[in-house]
A = this chain, B = another copy of it.
Amino acid sequence: MIVLLTDFGLKDPFVAVMKGVIATISPSAAILDLTHDISPQDVSEASFILKGSYLYFPKGTIFVVVVDPGVGTKRKIIYVETENYRFLSPDNGILTSLFPEEKPVKIIEVKNSKYFLKPVSFTFHGRDIFAPAAAYLNQGVAPEEMGPSLAPESLADSPLPFPHQDPQGNWHGEIVYIDRFGNLTTNLNGCCVDSGENAEIIFKNEVLKGLRQAYANSDSPSGPFAILNSFHSIEIAVNQGSAQKILHAKKGEEVILRCPTSFS
């Protein structure tokens, strides 16, 4: 199975052309779309989506990530293999984001043009490099055929922001993703709170007390609340409404978590 993650959108034929190239080389490949609506060239958003999703796909899946502000420059294209999964991506930190939890057992620089379309354009490596390389890997070509090994420490750093703790013990994070419903996902994971009952989540002038379990369990149906979401992250939401609109929220804005242990 080959899973595609890009910022190409579905209006243009770019994703379809990648699938056509894959199907031409590897007719039996099953292809799924993770999403193609990553904000243009937003490697941090792509990291977040991939990290929160890949574990739900079958073992052996090849993830093809084409969010690539550096297309046509000298940035490397890398293949990373872990115990259960395989990944193709530009070397821009997206895969590095997975390493804390997903140990790479093989890292290859993809550069053998034998497995590319010819001529390779400067503008569409998704079609000319990523799609054919993924298809040949799916056909059983050994990754080592595609280029030399790389050391993990040579790869670009993860673009994902990490929360930090202040001297009072509060965690400072930020909004890392806003979904279709306007729910605000943060990079705070609530691991410091046992039950969540005593946590306080602070965003702009709002102080949200406790972590709710379900969207619909609301005493104050129209106001914002905090919830541990399906990405296992603390999220700010509004029941049957958009927290993004109501709180005028933007990606990157700070969210603070006050844990019970930091209460005095």
Q: Tell me if A147 is interfacial: C-beta within 8 Å of chain B.
A: no
> In the complex, which residue of chain B has the Cβ closest to the Cβ of A52?
B13
Looking at the complex, which of A33-41, A148-156, A197-205, A243-251 is the stretch in contact with chain B? A33-41
Q: Per DSSP, are chain A's interface residues mostly helix, strand or loop, or mixed? A: loop
**B122 with A13: CB separation less than 8 A:** no
Q: How many copies does the complex hold?
A: 3
| A13:B53 contact, CB within 8 angstroms | yes
Q: How far is the CA of A86 from the CA of B240 in the complex (A)?
A: 29
Residue of B whose beta carbon sits closest to that of A50: B13
Question: A121-B230, A215-B72, A240-B41 are known contacts. Are A35 and B13 too (CB-CB below 8 A)?
Answer: yes
Contact B56 A230 (CB under 8 A): no
Are A180 and B34 in touch, CB under 8 angstroms? no
- 25 A-B residue pairs with CB within 8 Å: A3-B20, A8-B180, A10-B36, A11-B35, A12-B35, A12-B179, A13-B35, A13-B52, A14-B230, A16-B53, A17-B56, A20-B56, A21-B56, A23-B57, A23-B58, A24-B56, A40-B240, A69-B216, A72-B213, A72-B217, A73-B214, A73-B216, A122-B213, A123-B228, A127-B230
